[in-house]
A and B are shown apart, each in its own frame.
Chain A
Amino acid sequence: MIVLHRLARLVIVLLVVTFLSYVMLALLPGDPVTQILGIGADEEARARLRQELGLDEPLLVRYAGWLGDLLTGDFGTSPITRTPVAGELAERLPVTLELLVAAQVVALGLAVPVGIAAARRAGRALDQALTVLSFALLSTPVFVLGVLLILLFAVTWQVVPATGWTPISVDLGWNITSVLLPAVTLGCGQLAVYARLLRADLIATLQEDYITLARARGLSPRRILWRHALRPSAISLITAVGLNMGALIGGTVIIETLFGLPGIGRLIVDSIFSRDHLTVQGGVVLISVGYVLVNFAVDVVYAAVDPRIRRA
């Protein structure tokens, strides 16, 4: 029942999102023909290619055609790279997914202790220092942070490679070292957001009676923070993590550009710039599905964290 409901929602989201993006892309000035032929082709060649690609058909017909193909599992073949879109996406998805998961692990792994430490000492020196640090991280754009991190860890200390990507299938160790810097760069901005959210919620939770009573039962601060206070304070944090996972699926473009990772973000952005509609649409489908799945996971986690929500 729940699954059916989710599926229905997924279908609606997919339909609306792909249609809107199809329309928006089609209305953007420029077309893939220029990208394929370059500046040296004459009008006749352009017209021929445009017809070949079906670009002269009405928008709705093109969308319907694309949708029909999609229903049979065919994402189409990119006119620009001449490779099947599905294959391209499948090749790049693991890169972005690994980057995202690693970034979230880094961000959460640091944000939870930082948030707890700050809330525990709310208003005191450590809290203030962490606040300043958080905002320093927040106001450092990734393209500056990434460069700084590379400078320190790759150029000066040479502990990790500066850029480049080694897939897991090739070598696990190298894979981890190659994802380390990008994940930290991406995670740092999130870390600040997460730590702030968790701190705020924790401070509220620590005022609750059940926390005082837990103290009255002689439980240690560590136990109270981790076992009693963390879970009820995690709702905003989980929301933010979910949102980020969803939003970042296509939004990792800057990181991927900086570190030379062959990920989904770069694919979609490059495809938008080259007006490769089919690839963009494939990416949009992927993002939508990913988003709905993440959303579903978030709701599951919500319920796991806060039993009161299970009734809903």
Chain B
Amino acid sequence: MRRRLGAGFWIAVAWIALVLAAAVLADLLPIARYDETLAGPPQAGPSAAHPFGTDGLGRDVLSRVVHGARVSLGVGIGAVVLGLAIGAPLGVLAGYRRRAADAVIMAVNDVALAFPALVFALAVVAFAGASLRNVLVVLGVLGVPAWTRLIRGATLSFAEREFVLAARVLGVRDRRILWREIMPNVAVPAASYAFVGMAVVVVAEGSLAFLGLSVQAPTPTWGGLINEGRALMETAPHVVLAPSVVMFLTVLSFNLVGDRLRAAGDVRPSGLEPTRQAPAVLPSAGPRPLTGALLQVDDLRTHFLTPRGPVKAVDGVSFTLERGRTLAVVGESGSGKSMLIRSVLGLLPGAGVARGGHVHLGGDELTAFTPERMRQVLGRRLGAVFQDPMTALNPVRTIGAQVAEPLRVHLGMSRRQAREEAARLLASVGIPDPARTLGRYPHQLSGGMRQRVTIAMALSCGPDVLFADEPTTALDVTVQDQVLRLVHRLREERDMAVVLVSHDLSVVRQWADEVIVMYAGKVVERGPAADVFERTRMPYTEALLQAAPRLTDPAHHRLRVIPGRPPDLAAVPDGCAFRPRCAYARDRCAEQAPPLVAEGGHLHACWHPVGRTMTESEGADSHGR
């Protein structure tokens, strides 16, 4: 998902280009010499001859700012690059390797950090002289320990992450892990610090100038100019203001550019913030009469508004669900299954989303609820379990704190009550020694145990519906079965409804009562599980079924896949979305989208459904199997 970079970005780029060009071409520009004293009356304000005015010696401030850019930008960029070039590899190495490498690097780092910076700066200047290069080296080297520690800290937190551990266990070469898994993650804090660091360095140069340890006068630097101009702050504020503003704009521009480049598709709104403007409402069919079902979803739509047009993640989905039943939602990745769940739960980002349709839970229209009211429903009446138990639990909080939290927030239990209840819940999902588990952290549990914990959390307040979004995908086969068995047993015990999202059809076949097949945000087939599996109507469902691995497959059987790729949701083709990949497609499929038609309780959206008896009109020619 590409974001437009925006006008601010280009203004910032233009400013940086301007400053860089000015710095490089300073000598060629038609401005006064930076050291030409009395080029104008001293301390004169901005005028045509001196756009930024003159300083205490009558020197042209514009010229001094332009020439100052040379040193300040050179030092700012150079020192950060130098610090990163040395500090980042050391930090990653220390954080990743630990043991000896860590000990040695951090010991050296300690020495470097504990060493008084000023003694170092003085020594360098005294012996090597004050020059741009030396100032750059001083500031760069002084920054190295900070970079090392920062990167090490970030690496440490990632090196312990499951994906890295998993890669290590799998015997992936270290270098590859470092490059593929750690570097990209560490780059985020590093990059955000780099721009801040640059500002810090440019200002630090001013501090060195304050102490007389920067480049030799009269060579100007921004920090030096500010320091010089400080004395005139009351009589000639422009002398201090001009370099300050230029420095501020430059630092800000660098940050903005960096932020935008890094953030292309990265910084998503958190969704925590209620939008001030009401989300766009998509037109949808009015609510159908309530059927009295526990959960009734009518014509639900969720469109993400992107610069390329709306992305129709969920596009007119309807279904109902009764207590004690399990509804499975199947489809490929990107077909909108997870989005459907999040739309029902109302867990969508606040901005950039248009929604439509209605969700009723036991007669309450959730889609009309305020975020505050919705929070009373979430957790209490609707429970959710997500795909990856490794990331579904907060790594820094104990199991007890996390399981007990909804009990305390929603049910108002005391700390002790909640703890007891949490232990009971853990026991009910089959966790041995629940009392001890309460005090442990997620990383101390196996994947299966963690998923049990998330299920326990989802069930803690006795919800009416449990949404399980691929609850077993990340688990190994035997554990998968245990977890699903558990969900099933709990459904029976608590008389809940379950919405089970899965792309694993064998799982669905075994546990679901009803099935929804989704493609490109739409329901393409819906019906009782047995019907959908045994009397498949949609070619897409058929393809899914064929792609599903079977126990009967030979050991080294190649995984079957559906040829082609799911459509780009921002540009779904006219007609049937599956047409480009469908072996049965005909002209009509390209022209008109097939409606969802019912055959009893079994619905499908296809002009040329499969599984009809050969005697029917379309005949054998439509299905050349």
Contact = CB atoms under 8 A, between A and B. Distances in A.
Contacts of A287: 114, 116
B173 interface: no
B119 A25 contact: yes
A235 B210 CA distance: 33
User: Which of A135, A215, A216: most chain B CB closer than 10 A?
Assistant: A216
A283 B119 CA distance: 11
Contact of A254 (B210, B233, B269): B210
B110 A210 contact: no
Interface string B513-535: 00000000000000000000000
Interface in B195-237: 195-196, 199-200, 202-203, 206-207, 210-211, 223, 226-227, 230, 233
Contacts, number: 277
Contact of B396 (A20, A231, A268): A231
Interface in A238-257: 238-240, 242-243, 246-247, 250-251, 253-254
A259 interface: no
B409 A223 contact: yes
Contact of B203 (A147, A189, A312): A189
A31 to B, nearest CB: 13
B114 A292 contact: yes
A284 interface: yes
Given A218-B406, A219-B409, A283-B116, A308 B160 contact: yes
Contact of B193 (A12, A17, A197): A197
Contact of A302 (B153, B342, B345): B153
Interface stretch (A64-72, A84-92, A120-128, A169-177): A120-128
A197 B154 CA distance: 12
B154 A236 contact: yes
Given A13-B110, A144-B226, A193-B200, A123 B267 contact: yes
A141 B199 contact: no
A120 to B, nearest CB: 5
B483 interface: no
B273 A135 contact: no
Interface string A1-42: 000000001001100110011001101110000000000000
A24 B391 contact: no
A220 B375 contact: yes
A138 interface: yes
B394 A210 contact: yes
Contacts of B272: 120, 206, 215, 221, 224-225
Interface string B340-365: 00100101000100000000000000
Contacts of B380: 218
B357 to A, nearest CB: 19
Contacts of A51: none
B405 interface: yes
Q: Majority SS of interface residues in chain A?
A: helix
B113 interface: yes
Interface string A130-152: 01100110111111100100000
B125 to A, nearest CB: 10
Interface in A192-210: 192-193, 196-197, 199-201, 203-204, 206-210
Given A217-B405, A218-B376, A312 B156 contact: yes
Contacts of A215: 271-272, 347, 378
Contact of A217 (B117, B150, B378): B378
B113 A250 contact: no
A221 B377 CA distance: 15
Contact of A239 (B107, B149, B210, B383): B149
B123 A27 contact: yes
Given A280-B119, A287-B116, A307-B441, A9 B107 contact: yes
B189 A200 contact: yes
B299 to A, nearest CB: 23
A218 B375 contact: yes
Interface string A73-113: 00000000000000000000000000000000000000000
A236 B150 CA distance: 6
B100 interface: no
A201 B153 contact: no
B386 A213 contact: yes
Interface in B261-282: 263, 267-273
A274 interface: no
B114 A17 contact: yes
B379 A217 contact: yes
Contact of A207 (B113, B247, B268, B384): B268
A224 to B, nearest CB: 6
Given A207-B268, A312-B156, A24 B149 contact: no
27 contacts: A12-B111, A28-B122, A135-B252, A136-B252, A138-B203, A139-B248, A141-B207, A189-B200, A196-B195, A197-B196, A200-B192, A203-B267, A209-B386, A212-B347, A216-B382, A219-B406, A221-B273, A224-B272, A228-B394, A232-B394, A235-B154, A247-B117, A253-B118, A269-B211, A308-B395, A309-B157, A312-B160
Interface of B: 98, 107, 110-111, 113-120, 122-123, 126-127, 145-146, 149-150, 153-154, 156-157, 160, 188-189, 192-193, 195-196, 199-200, 202-203, 206-207, 210-211, 223, 226-227, 230, 233, 240, 244, 247-248, 251-252, 255-256, 259, 263, 267-273, 342, 345, 347, 351, 374-380, 382-384, 386-388, 391-397, 405-406, 409-410, 441, 443, 454, 457-458, 467
The 6 closest A-B pairs by CB, nearest first: A218-B378, A218-B379, A200-B192, A217-B379, A216-B384, A221-B272
Interface of A: 9, 12-13, 16-17, 20-21, 24-25, 27-29, 119-124, 131-132, 135-136, 138-144, 147, 189, 192-193, 196-197, 199-201, 203-204, 206-221, 223-225, 227-228, 231-232, 235-236, 238-240, 242-243, 246-247, 250-251, 253-254, 268-269, 272, 280, 283-284, 287-288, 291-292, 295, 302, 305-309, 311-312
